[in-house]
């Protein structure tokens, strides 16, 4: 099959270059957004950007290694890989093993690394579901049981945003691999019931829904975060106030380096800057789906498409929350938000796409 070229650049090279653009953009934004917090808490205003750079380097090495592994290896190892992922999800919710921060138990502190299993499970799920779904031996009941177990373990942390991403990714792969679309209504209905139950089980999540319905609700409490996001985006206007000149990042805007980093970007680069970033994301996602569409083998196609769906879901959920189209969910922006586990797993996922492109010769 012929390679897909743009101005003489192969499809794989385009994916790598686009990923690098987003990584550099993320490092610049993290450097800008974290100067006050880094100087205050660590005596080094570049503390966070240096950590992110270290994780980007480690992720790039892992991505390179994965890109050289034949995808068929992952297909054979899908079940044990899922076993490891589920085990880590179990361990993180056990008091004394999982680390609790701000009421959430989402991290495992291992020698030399802090791991967030809910981020790793996204990569695990792409591999496992690609193998399982393409076997064409999956019933709707089995599929829903699988989603229920994985989503339930993540909700126990609790983490609604990741639960939505993981569940949405599973549902996307279910239909991408050719299962009946007529089952969509049943799946969506069950998912909505589960979400309503989960939201209703916590006053904190109920407050977030109230804030979404009425942003003036509790302006110094549950509505504070989204109001600061809107202030940041509004202050940026069309062209922004300039790189490094955000005011909201000075301890006004919560999660300014992680979930809310696009608000800092919007303030500094304006509508024009954010639009360009979104176009780069759309281009990267389109490249990934081109790889999937060109595949001869169903597992390879599902693997690439799964990574494309994963990135798409996170971008949409993050941006929708930032412009108050959905309640705040705590979903990071891929390749841009600060966070080691999230960054490294996304880069490993892109390594899978490159491996597929290499084997399929696209």
- Which of 155-159, 218-222, 321-325 shows the lowest mean pLDDT across its residues? 218-222
pLDDT of residue 1: 43
Which residues in 56-71 are b (16+ Cβ under 10 Å) and which e?
A: beebbeebeebbeeeb
Tens digit of each residue's pLDDT (9 = 90 or more) over 96-132: 777 766 666 777 777 667 788 889 999 999 999 999 9
pLDDT of residue 2: 45
Give residue 62's pLDDT band: very low, low, confident or very high (50, 70, 90).
very high
pLDDT of residue 190: 80
* Helix locations, the chain, DSSP H: 11-33, 35-42, 47-67, 71-76, 78-92, 117-133, 140-155, 160-176, 184-200, 203-213, 224-236, 261-293, 298-322, 340-360
pLDDT of residue 251: 73
Domain residue limits, the chain: 5-360
pLDDT of residue 334: 94
**Percent of the chain whose pLDDT exceeds 70:** 90
CA 236 vs CA 210, 213, 239, 250, 270: distances in Å: 27, 24, 7, 15, 4
Averaged pLDDT of the chain: 86
């Amino acid at each position: 099959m012929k390679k897909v070229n743009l101005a003489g650049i192969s499809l794989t090279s385009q994916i790598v270059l686009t990923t690098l653009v987003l990584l550099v953009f993320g490092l610049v934004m993290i450097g800008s957004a974290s100067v006050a917090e880094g100087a205050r808490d660590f005596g080094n205003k570049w503390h966070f950007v240096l950590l992110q750079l270290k994780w980007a380097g480690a992720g790039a090495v892992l991505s390179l290694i994965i890109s050289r592994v034949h995808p068929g290896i992952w297909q054979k190892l899908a079940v044990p890989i899922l076993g490891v992922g589920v085990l880590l999800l179990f361990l993180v919710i056990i008091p004394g093993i999982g680390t609790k921060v701000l009421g959430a138990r989402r991290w495992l502190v291992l020698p030399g690394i802090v791991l967030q299993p809910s981020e790793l499970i996204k990569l695990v799920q792409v591999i496992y579901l690609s193998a399982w779904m393409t076997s064409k031996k999956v019933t709707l009941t089995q599929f829903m049981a699988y989603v229920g177990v994985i989503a339930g373990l993540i909700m126990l942390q609790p983490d609604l945003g990741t639960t939505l991403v993981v569940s949405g990714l599973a549902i996307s792969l279910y239909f991408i691999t050719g299962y009946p679309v007529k089952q969509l209504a049943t799946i969506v209905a069950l998912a909505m019931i589960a979400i309503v139950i989960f939201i209703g089980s916590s006053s904190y999540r109920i407050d977030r829904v109230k804030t979404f319905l009425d942003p003036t609700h509790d302006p110094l409490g549950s509505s504070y975060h989204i109001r600061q996001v809107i202030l940041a985006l509004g202050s940026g206007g069309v062209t922004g106030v300039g790189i490094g000149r955000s005011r909201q990042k000075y301890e006004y805007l919560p999660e300014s380096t992680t979930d809310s980093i696009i608000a800092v970007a919007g303030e500094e680069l304006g509508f024009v800057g954010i639009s360009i970033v979104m176009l780069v994301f759309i281009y990267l996602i389109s490249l990934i789906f081109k790889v999937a569409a060109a595949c001869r083998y169903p597992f390879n196609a599902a693997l690439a498409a799964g990574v494309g769906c994963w990135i798409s879901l996170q971008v949409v959920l993050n941006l929708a929350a930032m412009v108050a189209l959905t309640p705040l969910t705590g979903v990071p922006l891929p390749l841009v938000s600060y966070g080691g586990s999230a960054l490294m797993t996304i880069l490993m996922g892109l390594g899978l796409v490159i491996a597929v492109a290499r084997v399929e010769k696209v």
